[in-house]
Amino acid sequence: MEIETLPALNAIAKKRDHANTNEFAEAFDTEPQTVRKYVSRTGECYGVRPVKVGGKWLWPLAKMAARLQGGAK
């Protein structure tokens, strides 16, 4: 997936469709622990809902890009 409007997100993604929690936190300029706290309380963080794969949260890059560009939830 190539998100042309957000080159920094492309650099984080490295041609994947999902980011891990640390990469998500970096993109939103917050700490990974803060992200984990919000997910445990509400099931999402900054309006993005992760999927759990193999015991890890993975964050869809398309939804991250939409939120970073000011898109609605």
| 43: Cα separation from own chain's centroid | 13
Share of residues in the chain with pLDDT > 70 (%):
86
On the question of pLDDT at 16 being above 90, the answer is no
pTM listed for this prediction: 0.80
Q: How far apart are CA 13 and CA 68, in angstroms?
A: 14
Domain ranges of the chain: 7-68
Where do the DSSP E strands lie in 2-61? 18-20, 51-53, 56-60
Report the side by side order of strands in the sheet with 56-60: 18-20, 56-60, 51-53
On the question of pLDDT at 55 being above 80, the answer is yes
Among 44, 41, 12, smallest CA distance to 29 is for 12
